[in-house]
Chain A
Amino acid sequence: MGATIRVEGLRKSYGGRSVLDGVDLEVQAGTIFGYIGPNGAGKTTTVKILTGLLGDFEGEVRVGGLDPREQPVELKETIGYVPENAVLYEALTVAELLLFVGRLHGLDDAVIRARADEFLDVFELKSRLPTRVSTLSKGMRQKLLLTSAVLHAPQVVFLDEPLSGLDVNAAILVKNFLRALADSGRTVFYCSHVMDVVERVCDRIAILDGGKLVAEGTFDELSAARGGGSLERIFAELTGEGEDVELAERLVRALDGDGV
Chain B
Amino acid sequence: MFLNLVLGIVDRLRAPITAFGIDFDRFRELLRVKLLLEFRTSVLGQGGMGDVAFVLTLVGFWLMGILTGVAALVLGPSVWMGATTGLLMGMLFLLLIVHYGNILVDTTDIEQVAPHPVADRTLFASRLAHMMVYVGALAVVFMSGNLMLAVFRGPALAVLALGPLCAFLAVVLTVGVVAGAFAFLLRVLGPARFQRATLWMQVVVMAAMMGGGQLVRFFSRDAGPVLDENLHWLKWVFPPLHFVGLYDFVLGERTVENGAALGLALGLPLVAVIGTLKLASRFFVAGLDGSIHLGGTPRGGWRPTLFARLGVPLCRSHAQRAGFGLALALSRRDPFYLRAALPSLIAFPVMAIGMGLNLPDPPGLAPALALLVVGLPTVLQSALFCTDGEASWLLEASPVGERDAVLQGAVKGLIVGTIAPALLGAGLFLVLLRGSGEILPVILALELVAIAMLVSLLRWHHGMPFSRSPKQQAVDWSNMGHIFMLLLAGLFVAGVHVALAWNPWVLWISVVLSPVPMYALFRRVDRIRLHAGRRR
Stretch at the interface among A29-37, A88-96, A203-211, A228-236: A88-96
Measured in the bound complex, the distance between the Cα atoms of B298 and A129 in whole Å is 9
Q: Are B398 and A91 neighbours in the complex by a CB distance under 8 Å? A: no
Given A91-B333, A93-B297, A130-B297, A73 contacting B394 (CB threshold 8 A) = no
Q: In the complex, what residues of A have CB within 8 A of residue B333's CB?
A: 91-92, 132
Q: Are B299 and A130 neighbours in the complex by a CB distance under 8 Å? A: yes
Measured in the bound complex, the distance between the Cα atoms of B324 and A103 in whole Å is 10
| Any A CB within 8 A of the CB of B225 | no
Q: Which of B244-302 contact A (CB under 8 A)?
A: 291, 293, 297-302
| Any A CB within 8 A of the CB of B532 | no
Q: In the complex, what residues of A have CB within 8 A of residue B394's CB?
A: 88-89, 100-101, 104, 148
Given A92-B329, A104-B406, A132 contacting B297 (CB threshold 8 A) = yes
Q: Are A95 and B301 neighbours in the complex by a CB distance under 8 Å? A: yes
Chain B CB within 10 Å — which of A99, A104, A130, A134 has the most? A104
Q: Which of B293-313 contact A (CB under 8 A)?
A: 293, 297-302
Q: Which of B159-212 contact A (CB under 8 A)?
A: none
Given A89-B326, A99-B325, A106-B319, A113 contacting B302 (CB threshold 8 A) = yes
Q: Are B399 and A76 neighbours in the complex by a CB distance under 8 Å? A: yes
Q: Are B400 and A87 neighbours in the complex by a CB distance under 8 Å? A: no
Q: In the complex, what residues of B have CB within 8 A of residue A94's CB?
A: 301
Among B330, B397, B466, contact of A51 (Cβ-Cβ < 8 Å): B397
Among B293, B301, B329, B399, contact of A104 (Cβ-Cβ < 8 Å): B399
Query: A62 → chain B, closest Cβ, in Å?
Result: 17
Q: Are B388 and A81 neighbours in the complex by a CB distance under 8 Å? A: no
Q: Which of A71-109 contact B (CB under 8 A)?
A: 73-77, 81, 83, 86-96, 99-101, 103-109
Measured in the bound complex, the distance between the Cα atoms of B10 and A71 in whole Å is 56
Measured in the bound complex, the distance between the Cα atoms of B403 and A76 in whole Å is 14
Query: B271 → chain A, closest Cβ, in Å?
Result: 38
Q: In the complex, what residues of A have CB within 8 A of residue B398's CB?
A: 76, 101, 104-105
| Any B CB within 8 A of the CB of A131 | yes
Q: In the complex, what residues of B have CB within 8 A of residue A93's CB?
A: 297-298, 301, 329
Measured in the bound complex, the distance between the Cα atoms of B394 and A131 in whole Å is 20
| Any B CB within 8 A of the CB of A180 | no
Query: A2 → chain B, closest Cβ, in Å?
Result: 23
Query: B341 → chain A, closest Cβ, in Å?
Result: 14
Q: Residues 306-340 of chain B: 1 if any A CB is under 8 Å from the residue's CB, otherwise 0?
A: 00000000000011011001100110011100000
Measured in the bound complex, the distance between the Cα atoms of B276 and A113 in whole Å is 50
Task: Give the interface size bracket for B toward A.
Answer: 35 or more
Interface size on A, residues (CB 8 A): 38
Query: A89 → chain B, closest Cβ, in Å?
Result: 5
Chain A CB within 10 Å — which of B293, B322, B386, B399 has the most? B399
Q: In the complex, what residues of B have CB within 8 A of residue A96's CB?
A: 298, 325-326, 329
Among A83, A103, A113, contact of B319 (Cβ-Cβ < 8 Å): A103
| Any A CB within 8 A of the CB of B395 | yes
Given A88-B391, A91-B293, A130-B299, A53 contacting B322 (CB threshold 8 A) = no
Q: Are B321 and A103 neighbours in the complex by a CB distance under 8 Å? A: yes
Chain B residue with the shortest CB-CB distance to A116: B302
Q: Residues 106-127 of chain A: 1 if any B CB is under 8 Å from the residue's CB, otherwise 0?
A: 1111000100000000000010
Query: A227 → chain B, closest Cβ, in Å?
Result: 41
Measured in the bound complex, the distance between the Cα atoms of B400 and A107 in whole Å is 12
Q: In the complex, what residues of A have CB within 8 A of residue B387's CB?
A: 90-91
The 5 closest A-B pairs by CB, nearest first: A129-B301, A103-B322, A104-B398, A76-B399, A91-B333
Having A106-B319, A109-B321, one finds 17 other A-B pairs with CB under 8 Å, namely A51-B397, A73-B399, A76-B398, A83-B393, A88-B388, A91-B293, A91-B387, A93-B297, A96-B326, A96-B329, A100-B326, A100-B394, A104-B394, A106-B399, A113-B302, A126-B301, A132-B333
Which B residues fall within an 8 A CB radius of A?
291, 293, 297-302, 318-319, 321-322, 325-326, 329-330, 333-335, 386-388, 390-391, 393-401, 406, 466
